[in-house]
């Protein structure tokens, strides 16, 4: 049985050669996969089903005669697989048909005979759409003949389920690398996935008891994260004799990548698992949650970065009307705390979706590993969706660590990326803390770039990350790992107002809103004029200049008043939640007295506009200043440039002479 890496490589090479031999003049190279991937699936399924073909055909006839509508279960039993084909055809039967039109008709009948789970794969690959072109070029028969070559044995006798899965994944990888720009949207490099799964499992591997675990990916692409996570979990627990079984669940909007994921599971002999994944254009995770109300033990994801989710937003009712409990939660005393981000980038919404599926009533809870770009760390102002999500996560103490990955890790982008590690069962030493790990230096260059991907995180590189994670605040290398209190990332955004001052106004009069509007249109600003009073408070009110309540004489009596703010002088400040209180009531007042009042004595804080925000800056926390060049070095460079210029002038003068 073909199971060695060399055998896998040989099979992949043979299948790749079919694409070059048959499709070269029919398709551009980047479109070979539209035909080769579904045909690889069909050839494997065909060979697996061949021994039970007659039994399935007989069962189908019996069920039809009995008028039984729900036939899926009995047909699976007859096939002794989680899929079947009742057409009565095999690829070998079709090979003997020489007439192109008849071959197409019979091939379509063959496709129609597959079970619903395989039909989903065929439909999402859009294989039937390829048949007119293949028939017109008389290439369908050639494809079938090539895939039936004795050298290409894809039967269970020639290669087992695991080996077949490896071959299929390698084919997908090769096609993706051949079309890097598109691949980056759906294909996370395996080195990144392995690091993510290790971060998710290794810290608690010795605490995971024998049992059944549910794994979920809400943006699963080709399903690689789920399968690698499954492999990693078993590798970490099997040495200790634990019996671990897993169920995989995932959702993917892209039809082709969903078909690849489903096909991969079926080819590996995990047809039942394939039934747990959902996808296609109608299944956008944000607007059509296929697993609403379900909870999972382990979750991981690589959501799209910087991609508009406006269509999903509209389907959910519009930004201001979303009521989905994944994205509108109770937090900080607010029963309608919004996690809805700007429509231009929904990546943190995918993380909120994962968090909504955490287990809260079990001993181990849930763990999450999700990869994001840098904008997820700091975009969004205080009170906006992105900042609210960060605040919600940190104040609930779910964030264990964020790991900065090396640049040029992904196929279609060289941007900075970060792995977020979350748990709702933090160990005691991590309570209230967040670890930042700068792993940007821990990478191994590739011999040849794969699109934008120029480096990989080798096993040794990943070991460094896991060592830093495990050591936590005992890790000595603070250039690569630092531990913070969660509150260190929070701040209050305060609005600082100053009064409107217009020439000719009365310091002892309250102006109506209509009068103030007219004054703004006709008046002239004058810094020496008295503030415009917009409101006199009840006689019992107490003055509070810090928050805009001042004393003034109105109708001969001392009153507490509020001034009309000058919008042109309005400013905002970010005050850390950890701002020292000093001699004042709180950190905000201490900040105001030190940083604002000396420069604007008439300023006040509008408390109604104060919002709490959170942002995380790797650049600030891991900033490494570059030493300035010495004066001698600069002078040497200048002299070298002068000498070079003199030589050029001399050469030009010589040429002219």
pTM over 0.75: yes
The pLDDT of residue 4 is 58
179, pLDDT greater than 70 = no
The pLDDT > 70 percentage for the chain reads 97
* Residue pointed to by tokens 């070991």: 463
Give residue 629's region: left, alpha or beta (phi > 0; psi -120 to 50). beta
The pLDDT of residue 194 is 94
3-class DSSP state of 138: coil
Residue 312 CB coordination number (10 Å)? 18
Q: What is the DSSP string of 540-597?
A: TPPPBGGGTBEEEEETTEEEEEEEPB-GGG-EEEEEETT---TTSSSHHHHHHHHHTT
Token pair for 566: 């000058």
86, pLDDT greater than 60 = yes
Pairwise CA distance, residues 215 & 266, whole Å: 17
Phi and psi, residue 413, nearest 5°: -155, 145
3-class DSSP state of 623: coil
List pLDDT tens digits, range 211-238.
999 999 999 988 889 989 999 999 999 9
Pairwise CA distance, residues 314 & 19, whole Å: 42
Q: Are 464 and 369 in contact (CB under 8 A)?
A: no
Pairwise CA distance, residues 90 & 148, whole Å: 11
Closest CA to 94 of 61, 135, 55: 135
Pairwise CA distance, residues 373 & 304, whole Å: 9
- The per-residue pLDDT of the chain, averaged, comes to 91
Q: Are 565 and 498 in contact (CB under 8 A)?
A: yes
186, pLDDT greater than 70 = no
More confident of the two residues 398 and 642: 398
Pairwise CA distance, residues 466 & 471, whole Å: 8
Pairwise CA distance, residues 31 & 38, whole Å: 12
Angstrom distances, CA of residue 619 to CA of 113, 197, 483, 485, 625: 58, 26, 15, 18, 11
Token pair for 293: 């109300």
Reported as a pLDDT band with limits 50, 70 and 90, residue 445 is very high
Q: Residues 509, 512, 517, 518: what is their CA dihedral angle, to the nearest 10 degrees?
A: -70
* Residue pointed to by tokens 């830093």: 468
The CA-based angle 423-409-379, given to 5 degrees, is: 60
Pairwise CA distance, residues 377 & 364, whole Å: 27
Strands 571-576 and 433-438: unpaired
187, pLDDT greater than 80 = no
What's the average model confidence in pLDDT over 536-544? 94
166, pLDDT greater than 90 = no
List pLDDT tens digits, range 4-36.
566 788 888 999 899 888 998 888 888 888 999
347, pLDDT greater than 50 = yes
Q: Are 358 and 365 in contact (CB under 8 A)?
A: yes
List pLDDT tens digits, range 294-313.
999 999 999 988 889 999 99
The pLDDT of residue 184 is 44
List pLDDT tens digits, range 323-344.
999 999 999 999 999 999 999 9
506, pLDDT greater than 90 = yes
Residue 345 CB coordination number (10 Å)? 23
Handedness of CA 418, 424, 429, 434 (dihedral sign): positive
Q: What is the DSSP string of 25-62?
A: TTS-GGGTHHHHHHHHHHHHHHHHHGGGHHHHHHHHHH
Stretch among 70-74, 95-99, 146-150, 556-560 having the lowest mean pLDDT = 95-99
Stretch among 188-202, 204-218, 596-610, 628-642 having the lowest mean pLDDT = 628-642
Residue 242 CB coordination number (10 Å)? 16
The pLDDT of residue 30 is 81
Q: Are 586 and 560 in contact (CB under 8 A)?
A: no
Residue 565 CB coordination number (10 Å)? 21
Q: Residues 290, 294, 296, 302: what is their CA dihedral angle, to the nearest 10 degrees?
A: 30
* Residue pointed to by tokens 């004595």: 601
Pairwise CA distance, residues 456 & 405, whole Å: 10
Pairwise CA distance, residues 618 & 547, whole Å: 34
499, pLDDT greater than 50 = yes
3-class DSSP state of 475: coil
């Amino acid at each position: 049985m073909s199971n060695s890496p060399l055998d896998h490589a040989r099979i992949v090479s043979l299948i790749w050669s079919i694409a070059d031999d048959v499709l070269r003049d029919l398709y551009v190279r980047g479109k070979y996969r539209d035909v080769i991937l579904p045909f690889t699936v069909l050839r494997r399924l065909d060979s697996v089903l061949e021994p039970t073909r007659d039994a399935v055909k007989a069962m189908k006839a019996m069920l039809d005669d009995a008028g039984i509508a729900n036939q899926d279960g009995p047909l699976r039993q007859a096939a002794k697989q989680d899929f079947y084909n009742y057409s009565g055809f095999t690829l070998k039967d079709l090979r003997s048909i020489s007439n192109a039109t008849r071959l197409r008709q019979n091939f379509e009948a063959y496709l129609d005979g597959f079970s619903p789970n395989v039909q989903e794969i065929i439909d999402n690959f859009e294989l039937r759409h390829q048949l007119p072109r293949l028939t017109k070029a008389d290439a369908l028969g050639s494809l079938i003949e090539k895939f039936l070559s004795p050298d290409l044995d894809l039967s269970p006798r020639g290669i087992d389920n695991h080996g077949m899965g490896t071959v299929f994944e390698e084919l997908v990888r090769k096609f993706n690398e051949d079309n890097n720009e598109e691949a980056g949207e759906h294909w996370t490099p395996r080195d990144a996935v392995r690091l993510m799964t290790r971060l998710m499992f290794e810290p608690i591997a010795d605490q995971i008891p024998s049992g059944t675990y549910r794994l979920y990916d809400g943006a699963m692409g080709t399903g690689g994260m789920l399968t690698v996570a499954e492999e990693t979990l078993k590798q970490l627990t099997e040495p200790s004799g634990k019996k671990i079984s897993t169920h995989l669940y995932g959702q993917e909007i892209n039809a082709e990548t969903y078909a690849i994921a489903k096909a991969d599971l079926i080819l590996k002999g995990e047809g039942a698992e394939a039934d747990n994944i959902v996808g296609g254009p109608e299944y956008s995770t944000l607007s059509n949650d296929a697993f609403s109300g379900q909870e999972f033990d382990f979750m991981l994801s690589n959501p799209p970065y910087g991609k508009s989710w406006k269509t999903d937003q509209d389907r959910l009712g519009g930004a201001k009307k979303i009521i989905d409990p994944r994205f509108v939660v109770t937090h900080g005393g607010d029963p309608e705390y919004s996690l809805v981000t700007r429509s231009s980038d929904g990546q943190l919404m995918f993380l909120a979706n994962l968090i909504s599926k955490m287990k809260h009533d079990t001993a181990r809870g849930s763990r999450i590993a999700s990869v994001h770009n840098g904008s997820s760390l700091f975009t969004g102002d205080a009170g906006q969706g992105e900042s609210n999500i960060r605040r919600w996560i940190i104040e609930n103490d779910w964030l264990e660590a964020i790991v900065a990955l090396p640049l040029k890790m992904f196929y279609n982008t060289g941007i900075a990326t970060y792995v977020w590690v979350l748990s709702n069962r933090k160990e005691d030493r991590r309570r209230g803390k967040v670890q930042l790990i700068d792993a940007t230096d821990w990478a191994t260059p590739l011999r040849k770039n794969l699109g934008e991907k120029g480096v990989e995180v080798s096993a040794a590189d990943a070991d460094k990350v896991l060592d830093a994670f495990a050591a936590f605040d005992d890790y000595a290398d603070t250039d690569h790992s630092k531990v913070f209190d969660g509150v260190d990332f929070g701040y209050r955004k305060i609005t600082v107002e100053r009064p409107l001052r217009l020439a000719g106004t009365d310091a002892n009069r309250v102006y109506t809103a209509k009068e103030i509007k007219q004054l703004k249109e006709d008046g002239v600003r004058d810094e020496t004029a008295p503030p415009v009073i917009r409101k006199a408070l009840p006689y019992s009110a107490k003055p509070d200049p810090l928050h805009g309540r001042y004393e003034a004489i109105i109708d001969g009596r001392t009153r507490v008043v509020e001034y009309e703010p000058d919008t042109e002088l309005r400013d905002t400040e970010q005050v850390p939640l950890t701002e020292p209180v000093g001699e004042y009531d709180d950190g905000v007042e201490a900040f105001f007295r030190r940083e604002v009042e000396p420069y604007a004595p008439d300023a006040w804080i509008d408390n109604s506009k104060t919002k709490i925000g959170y942002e995380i800056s790797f650049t600030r926390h891991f900033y490494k200043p570059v030493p300035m060049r010495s004066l001698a070095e600069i002078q040497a460079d200048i002299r070298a440039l002068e000498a070079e210029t003199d030589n050029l002038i001399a050469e030009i003068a010589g040429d002219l002479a």
